[in-house]
Amino acid sequence: MELIALVSSGKGSWGQVAGVINRGDWDNIILIGNNFAKRFSVEKDFEFIEIDKSGLVDFKEEVQRKLKGKIKGTEVALTIASGEGKEHMGLISALLNLPVGIRFTALTKDGIVFL
């Protein structure tokens, strides 16, 4: 399964994202974030998509445009442990409009879970 992860400007949430990436067996990893989020790093290979827009609709449209053709399957794992509400709404809306199914995922004390 492919993983899509939002990496926002708050470093405090990057540990959760890194845990999901490192502990999962992902076919492909796509990270979405702003210029600051380019500093995020993990040992696994990933593609980083930089999003410059801040308004909800503009953010959603840029994500959708930049993700088009990059997702190979019909469903993705999605982690939104990082970010804020308007980024979450924009990303979820963009994915659903591609269209692709979403399985929310998180790292817990028991490992990776799909919600």
What is the per-residue pLDDT across 69-93, written as a single tens digit (0 to 9) for each? Answer: 999 999 999 999 999 999 999 999 9
pLDDT bucket at 13, cuts 50 / 70 / 90:
confident
Average pLDDT rounded to a whole number, residues 63-74? 96
* CATH code of residue 90: 3.40.50.2000
Number of domains in the chain: 1
Provide the domain limits for residue 33.
Answer: 2-114
Whole-number pLDDT of residue 53: 86
Burial 53-85 (b: 16+ CB within 10 A, else e): eeeeeebbbbbbeebeeebeeeebbbbbbbbee
Q: Residue 11 pLDDT more than 90? A: no
